Amino acid sequence: MSAKLYNALHDLLVALGLLDRPKLQPVPVRTDDQRRPQAPRRRR
């Protein structure tokens, strides 16, 4: 119950501009294409 109340109060303070929104962390993206097997391309 207190977690819901805290979340509602926090959302209200963010909406009123009294608090900053939490900063989101970037999601890491894999770029190593050599390790992933390539699927054969289909022809139409």
- Could you tell me if 23 and 14 are in contact, meaning their C-beta atoms sit under 8 angstroms apart? no
Sequence letter at residue 39 = A
Average pLDDT (24-28) is 85
Unique residue bearing structure tokens 């979340």: 7
Higher-confidence position of 34 and 15: 15
Residue 13, token pair as written in the block: 């303070």
- pLDDT, the chain, mean: 81
Q: Return the pLDDT at 36.
A: 60
Q: Return the pLDDT at 34.
A: 63
Q: How confident is the model at residue 26 (pLDDT cuts 50, 70, 90)?
A: confident
Average pLDDT (21-41) is 73
Q: How many CA atoms lie within 13 A of 13 on its CB side?
A: 11
* Rounded-to-integer distance, Cα 19 and Cα 5, Å: 16
